[in-house]
Each structure stands twice: as C-alpha cells, then as structure tokens.
Homo-oligomer: A and B are copies of this chain.
Amino acid sequence: MKTTLEIPVRSTEVDSMGHVNNAKYLEYLEWGREDWFKKANCSFDNLIARGIGLASVNINIDYLGECLKDDILLVVTSPVKAGKSSFVFLQEIFKKDSMKKVISTHVTIVTIGMETRKSTPIPSDLSKHLISTEI
C-alpha cells in the first residue's frame, strides 16, 4: 500500500537560511507514516490500545534539494521490507509543482509489546499491508 500526503511548508518551518530545516523533515515524514497507518486502519492509537508500540530504530535520510516557504510537498510512503517484528518504509518527498524529489528516506520500525518492552510479532491486520520479504 502506497500513500501520499500533501503538506504546505509553513512560515515557522523555515530556518534563518529560508530553507526547511533538516529536523523538520522528520516531522513531515512522521505525518506521512501516521497517514499510512490510518489508511491501513492501524493507527498508532489503535495499536497502542492493543498494547503494541511502534519504535523507529533507524532513519537513513538523503537530503536531495531544498524547500522554501509556501512550497507544497508530497510525502509518499510505502513499505519495502517486512520481517517478523520489524519492517521498513521508503519515504520520499517531492515538490508538487515540479515533482522534483527533495528527500529519500528509509525508516526501520520495530513492533514492541508495551508491557514486555520487547519486540513482538507484527499483528496480521498490519502485516497484510506490508511486503512479506524477510529483513
């Protein structure tokens, strides 16, 4: 399942160089993942209610271009790998007008039992939306 979230760059999200700051992109990417989970009917809150947390353990992000205030961005999120209790999203950010790619990211997520604080199998209603190749 691949999702696209449209986000405008707000005035308070650019730094003293006038660019979106590199930390801010991680928020945009989190919003994109939230959107993916919601569309998969497995929101963070839904999972937490079932005692399952999602821990991002690695983010590997390439900064390919700069974004300015009022740019409209598209955050495209799709799973690329899934194991027993972990999976990987590819997330890319494009400028909507030119479709120039400005961000490419891999995010590795582990499913955690909220009580045990240890990894736990991905629930089936989530895994059906993920690609089942082992990590």
Contact = CB atoms under 8 A, between A and B. Distances in A.
* Chain multiplicity (copies): 4
Given A11-B30, A59-B61, 6 more contacts: A11-B15, A11-B44, A12-B23, A12-B31, A57-B62, A58-B60
B63 A55 contact: yes
Contacts of A132: none
A27 B15 contact: no
Interface of A: 10-12, 14-18, 21-24, 26-27, 30-31, 34, 44-45, 53, 55-64, 69
A58 B69 contact: no
Contacts of A69: 16, 45
A27 to B, nearest CB: 5
